[in-house]
Amino acid sequence: MPGDETQRINPAEDALLALAPGRRVFGRYTLEAIAGRGGMGVVWRAHDDELDRTVALKFLPEAIAADPEAVRDLKRETRRCLELTHPSIVRVYDLVQEGGSAAIAMEFVDGETLAKRKVDAPGGCLAAAELAPLMAQLCAALDYAHREARIVHRDLKPANLLITREGKLKITDFGIARSLTETHTRLTGVATGSTSGTLPYMSPQQLAGDKPTESDDLYALGATIYELLAGKPPFFRGDMASMILQIRERTPAALAAHRADAGCEGAAIPAAWAEIALACLDKKPARRPRTAGEVAARLGLVESMGYTGTGNRATTMEEPAAPAAVPPVPGETGAVAPPEAGVRAPDVSGRRPAVAEKAGRKSKMAPWLAVAAVVVVGAVLGGYFGLYAPAQKRAAVERTRTASEQARETEARRAADEKRVTGEKKAAEENRVVDEQRAAAESARLEAFAIVAAKVDALVDGSTPALRDATELAVRNYLAATSGRHRDDIERRWTQRAAGWETARLAAARGGLIVTTTPPGAEVAVGGLALEKSPAALKEVKLGKYPVIIRLAGYEEQRREVEVKENEFAALDVTMVRAVGAAQLASAPAGLAFVLTGSDQTETGTTPARLEKLPTGNYTFVVVREGWPDQTKKVTVARGQTVEVLAEFVGGGLEIASTPAGAEVWAQGRNLGKTPLKLGDLVPAGFDLELRLKGYTVAPARGEIRSRETTRVSLALEIIRPEPAQPWVVPDLSLGMVWLRPGTFAMGTPPDQAVPPGSTAANKPGDNQAAAAAVLLIGALAQGIQALQRAEIPQTNVTLTRGWWLGKAEVTQAQYEAVMGANPSQFKNAGNSAPVENVSWEEAMQFCRRLTEQERAAGRLPEGCIYTLPTEAQWEYACRASSSGLYSGNLDTMGWYAQNSGNQPHPVGQKQANAWLLCDMHGNVSEWCLDTFGNYPGGTVTDYSGPAPGAMRVYRGGSWKSGAQDCRSAARGREKPGWRSNSVGFRLALVQTR
């Protein structure tokens, strides 16, 4: 939604939510388009399907939506926002949840933000004349929220002020933005802003984390007016710390100077507007305007805009109108005096005062009638003198009035300029004081650095320990309290001086010894006396020569001799030499790549290999063979010894058999072959295979392949059989069938839908079936109802007591040929997926009998089940799919018939299926039914089928060359069993005979 300051994209949340136009969410909203994105969620324009209105859905971040406490807090804020019912405040409707998602539903505003309008303005700022009606609405809305609802916005700014296409102002995110920001920070630990607001618009009190008050909103109102008139917020330069300091300590610059500094251009800023903006920005809440109504009054917006908060209202006898203030002339200066001390600012919230009692009303009537009389007389006299007085007198009066107004305006400008100059001087003085304080602080830092540096430099080799300790204390205190380059300099100086002083002090002793090694950590023994690990120091040593023995695991032992002299510290630095051994590496099979790592050394090569002069220690030997898991060996190389390492890759075998044989063996999406199957040299590991054979359930085969062994698996495959209430696919034909449950329906055509053969109205299918039926009925009466009675009426209520399977589509040419060995179709060019046609009823039944025999032989057909043609009642029940109209849907989208087929049948399944997933029930080819043709009995019948004797068989559904009337659900056709047509085929049924 415009105004939601959300422009940065968060891809992770769009992916989690998986939102897209057209998706229905929360059980009632249909998404239409993204209105905005940001760190606090994505906003969608959506349609409320229950209330038939457009709304904005602000989806909450995943971290908030998944936290019950966070959602509970937001629900509480949402309930508070429901109290805000003002024409200039965006309505909040609800907080809705579904699964792991949550969103706030609110009023959708089609327009732009005031921030965008400012940016798009030619000079980068707006004029007071343009802002006047908008600020009147804004002040009215704030006054209402503060006085009536007792709610503080906490994040008022131009980006949260929306302008509708009609030019009306709307405030968005009342309380919601603050709650989202604080909750997100609490849950994620990532701050998305300073406390509960946007920094340039936050008062010093809000910045300090004080409890929000109406005064914070008035500060933000002043910052908003300031920015819109001057082009930039009062403080906008520097980093966050610098801006916080400016908000707390600096006085905003005069608006005109600030606008020039920001590089913006526009009309002159009226003094009243500049004065009220700076008044709202006062550091002290007590010195700011008390209410938004006071702001509106000081701008002269209360009555002049004709807007008083929650809506315009006429003045009544009980509620006399206040005198209208004279609005400032757009683009000119002129101060509007603030309310007098002790006088309450006008209430622009739209609240009506309590209506007086009846007696009180009467007491007020008389003076107001007198006022009305005076107004009428004044209007008459004014009309006379205004229209008929001499022109010279009117001109003199106008000149007097203009001179008086100009004098007042000149005095107002002088007072405003004087106040502006005073404010600028005050701001300059405050800035000077801040600069002096900073300079003094910097001078103090330099002085402290100089003092400590002098103490460090004074520490020489002969200084006393007391002086050294005092210097160290001074350095530590300085380092703890200072940062930056001066601190680094002192730390470097101290490290060097302290080390030199310590060396000199040790040398003054009788003598000493320091032993260091590379690498460190070696055990050191001097003259048989074991010391700490290197680096090690020995103090107060008698003069003389001492043997030194140094040992370190993995290194050769080192022996040295050192002489200790008077007042000297002997230093012994020894570089250790690694001890070495060898490794013999091999693999089966040979010729494999290896990597040997350890002891800070890596060796690579191909097996077999011998590695000499390996430093002693632990190694990892990794051998790689393609298609096999890497073999890893841990070895230890000892001093002067050879370690042998062998990595063996010996596989196992797998034999797989199935009953029946010929099943495909699949592993990880790859066909390994058919059973019986033998596989050798396999990686020892677990296996998970599948055996697949058409007509049988997929059989899993799992086990373990062991090195040097053959694993054998034998499985008996289970035949797939049709199960009632489940869909079925004839395996060898890939012919899908739908299970149809028992039920009752009205078979045939009621009188209001009766259609005579060749009726013109029936050839025009459409959504208005009632109107079409009426036309059809007239045609039927004209042609005679007797023919219809023989074909489709009387309508009969039929109950089917058993469920059955029916093909999803008509039998195709490929399926027919697979069973019968030939394709009799005339439209072979339509493709193998087109319905078979040019088939008689007898040939269709022969197909059913042969398929029944094949499936029984394969063991897939349960006892008592046969493939056959559907009865006429079964066919119409399936075609209607619980519908009762002429068609089960829209004929153009569901069937190929004369008006859209192009004079030929089409591959099955291309048109929309009916409610029971059956395709081509209308059109494409007509379909043979099992019954003989007969008249409907009427009334109620159970498991209806045509009369047993009869020479004619029924076909239904219409075809590619039929008119719309022959494609109706109730339309019937009849022919002899041996008759063929390129427009007639059949649909397969599977029934249970017992």
Residues with a known catalytic role: 155
Q: What secondary structure does DSSP assign to 23-34, as a single string?
A: -EETTTEEEEEE
Helical spans, DSSP H, in 330-461:
358-388, 391-458
Give the count of beta carbons closer than 10 Å to the beta carbon of residue 111: 19
Q: Say if residue 367 is preceded by a cis peptide, omega within 30 of 0.
A: no
**Between 176-188 and 68-81, two packed helices, what is the crossing angle to 10 degrees?**
170
Which residue(s) pair with 803 in the sheet? none
Nearest of 377, 387, 268 to residue 328 by alpha carbon: 268
Residues 6 or more apart whose Cβ sits within 8 Å of residue 742: 799, 800, 801, 802, 803
399 backbone dihedrals φ, ψ, rounded to 5°: -65, -40
**Between 255-262 and 271-280, two packed helices, what is the crossing angle to 10 degrees?**
90
Nearest of 931, 991, 988, 919 to residue 955 by alpha carbon: 931
Q: Which amino acid is at 433?
A: V
3-state secondary structure of 107: strand
**Are 710 and 652 spatial neighbours (Cβ–Cβ below 8 Å)?**
yes
CA 537 to chain centre: 65
Give the count of beta carbons closer than 10 Å to the beta carbon of residue 546: 20
Give the count of beta carbons closer than 10 Å to the beta carbon of residue 817: 15
Residues 6 or more apart whose Cβ sits within 8 Å of residue 378: none
Residue 457 to residue 913: CA distance in whole angstroms: 96
Helical spans, DSSP H, in 858-949:
872-880, 891-894
**Are 808 and 736 spatial neighbours (Cβ–Cβ below 8 Å)?**
yes
Q: Does residue 99 come out as left (phi exceeding 0), alpha (psi in the -120 to 50 range) or beta?
A: left
Which residue(s) pair with 805 in the sheet? 739, 990
Measured torsion, CA atoms of residues 856, 861, 866, 870, in degrees rounded to the nearest 10: -140
Give the count of beta carbons closer than 10 Å to the beta carbon of residue 932: 18
Residue with tokens 């343009």: 130
**Are 639 and 580 spatial neighbours (Cβ–Cβ below 8 Å)?**
yes
First vs last C-alpha separation in the chain: 64
Residue 215 to residue 210: CA distance in whole angstroms: 12
Q: 967: which DSSP letter?
A: G
**Are 836 and 824 spatial neighbours (Cβ–Cβ below 8 Å)?**
yes
**Are 807 and 909 spatial neighbours (Cβ–Cβ below 8 Å)?**
no
Residue 589 to residue 859: CA distance in whole angstroms: 50
Residue 120 to residue 111: CA distance in whole angstroms: 14
**Are 656 and 689 spatial neighbours (Cβ–Cβ below 8 Å)?**
yes
